[in-house]
């Protein structure tokens, strides 16, 4: 099962994704993409660490996500990636278009062949105003295209708003 969970900031998408992952049979591996670039982000990461079950294995991978998924995926295991938004941001700030294309392409290409269950979490950013900076506009464009490509390869796509899930594709929850 491949699941893509989309939603706005504080929509409840991460909570739902964690519920989906822990409800799956077997071990859950949390793949974290965030980096602590400032004190506020460091506090957020620490809060998320405290909120996760203590027995959950955590793999930190800010750039080479497809490689981490390939290493960690196996039958009877659920990989929970939180979140694609931060991962994409990490790639964009490197200003290396070849790296961005290679890593996003690798993720899209790798996803269908992975054994086990995969739950991907991402912020849906295309519902707001058009940003006033070139980097933010590029981020929205790249995120929108990535979400479309991943949705096409996912068994279920869920949009979360106000803590309420709406299944856009695939079996009901």
Question: Quick one: how far is CA 52 from the chain centroid?
Answer: 16
Residues sharing a CB contact under 8 Å with residue 162, sequence separation 6 or more, in sequence order: 11, 12
147 is catalytic: no
Q: Which runs of E-coded beta strand occur in 14-171?
A: 27-32, 57-60, 77-82, 117-123, 156-161, 164-169
Find the catalytic residue in 48, 64, 117, 147: 48
**CB half-sphere exposure, 36, CA atoms < 13 A:** 11
**CB half-sphere exposure, 24, CA atoms < 13 A:** 22
Residues sharing a CB contact under 8 Å with residue 167, sequence separation 6 or more, in sequence order: 156, 157, 158, 173
Residue 159, classed as helix, strand or coil, is strand
Helix or strand (DSSP H, E) at 6: strand 2-7
User: Which residues are annotated as catalytic?
Assistant: 48
């Amino acid at each position: 099962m491949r699941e893509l969970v989309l939603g706005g900031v504080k929509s409840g998408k991460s909570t739902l994704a964690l519920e989906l992952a822990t409800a799956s049979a077997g071990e859950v591996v949390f793949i974290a993409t965030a980096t602590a670039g400032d004190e506020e982000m460091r506090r957020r990461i620490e809060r998320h660490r405290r909120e996760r079950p203590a027995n959950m294995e955590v793999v930190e991978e800010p750039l080479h996500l497809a490689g981490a998924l390939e290493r960690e995926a196996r039958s009877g295991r659920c990989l929970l990636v939180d979140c694609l938004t931060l991962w994409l941001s990490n790639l964009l700030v490197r200003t290396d278009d070849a790296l961005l294309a290679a890593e996003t392409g690798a993720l899209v290409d790798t996803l269908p062949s992975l054994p086990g269950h995969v739950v991907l979490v991402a912020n849906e950013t295309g519902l707001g105003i058009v940003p006033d900076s070139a980097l933010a506009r590029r981020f929205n464009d790249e995120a929108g295209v990535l979400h479309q490509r991943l949705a096409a390869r996912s068994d279920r796509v869920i949009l979360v708003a106000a803590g309420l899930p709406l299944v856009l594709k695939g079996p009901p929850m």
